[in-house]
Amino acid sequence: MAYRSKLKYSDVTPKADFLNRRQLMGGAGALAIGSAAGVLPKWAEAAGKYSTDATPNTFEEISTYNNFYEFGTGKGDPVANAQRLTTDPWSVQIDGMVDRPGNYDLADILAKVSIEERIYRFRCVEAWSMVVPWNGFELKQLLDMAGVQSGAKYVAFETLVRPEEMPGLRRSGIEWPYREGLRLDEALHPLTLMATGLYGKELPKQNGAPLRLVVPWKYGFKSIKSIVRVTLTDKMPPTTWNMLQSREYGFYSNVNPNVSHPRWSQATERQIGGGLFAKRKPTLMFNGYEKEVASLYDGMDLKANY
């Protein structure tokens, strides 16, 4: 079954009037000033119960310092190389153990979901961090559209493969497409977001436009970008970094200061935007979302299931 629309996703993108409550290019300063005056800016008020009260990084920091290997391995490669990417129109193939498999146009998806802002901590496995104000919708809404069958246990994701627009695909050693996966209960958790925007604007191409996953209690490489396929399955799916080096990158990849990467400690992190002489800060269990997600792993050995 295919779901087609004459609309483009930009016709219903979350940057529309729906979210026209602020222009936040200088967002971090606005929050600091508003808080000092005892009045939060409207974007912070609208962020909701799942958001952190930490000061967000600036739009420039978030959009110019990131990993997206399809466009190169340097932190500045994605912003330099991703602008050629065609993101509109866009569709997502949903298949596997679902009642309504098919190609879902992003325009149709966005017309049916509830877009909201979530200000999340973001922690890279490389031991740096940011605070990001995403716009998006809970992954559960997309899975409900497709109708998850009772035997499904995992959700697998794949990134777009388009060599003529993605120069990083020429990199050897990675089996494309980029793959990621979640356990079904992780995917259905209300913190798990499908991001479509950033700072009330369309999601920048270098940040995974037009649709990316955000799982704030896991290392950033789990938050797969530019998604074109979602598969429900009863088996744990292969994931790219685990396929490349299973000793270093586990399936779960929960942020855990007590479990070091084999080549560096995860006990502390460097916050982007903190300045040249900023002190590293302690990493929080589950990236600060322990209260919300720890129960998902009751009884599990988090060192063995890293």
**Is 45 known as a binding-site position?**
no
**Is 212 known as a binding-site position?**
yes
Q: Where are the beta strands (DSSP E) in 112-225?
A: 116-123, 128-138, 154-159, 179-183, 193-198, 201-202, 212-214
Q: For residue 285, what are its two tokens?
A: 């269990």
Cα Rg, the chain, nearest whole Å:
19
Q: For residue 256, what are its two tokens?
A: 């855990």
**Is 224 known as a binding-site position?**
yes
Q: What are phi and psi of 152, to 5 degrees?
A: -70, 140
Burial track 98-131 (b if 16+ CB lie within 10 A, e otherwise): beebbebbbbbbbeebebbbbbbbbbbbbbbbbb
**Is 207 known as a binding-site position?**
yes
**Is 70 known as a binding-site position?**
yes
**Is 289 known as a binding-site position?**
no
Q: Are 138 and 193 in contact (CB under 8 A)?
A: yes
Measuring CA to CA, which residue among 49, 31, 211, 216 is closest to residue 117? Answer: 49
CA distance 266 to 255: 8
**Is 231 known as a binding-site position?**
no
**Is 124 known as a binding-site position?**
yes
As annotated, the binding site for Mo-molybdopterin includes 66, 69-70, 124, 159, 207, 212, 223-225
Binding-site residue numbers are: 66, 69-70, 124, 159, 207, 212, 223-225
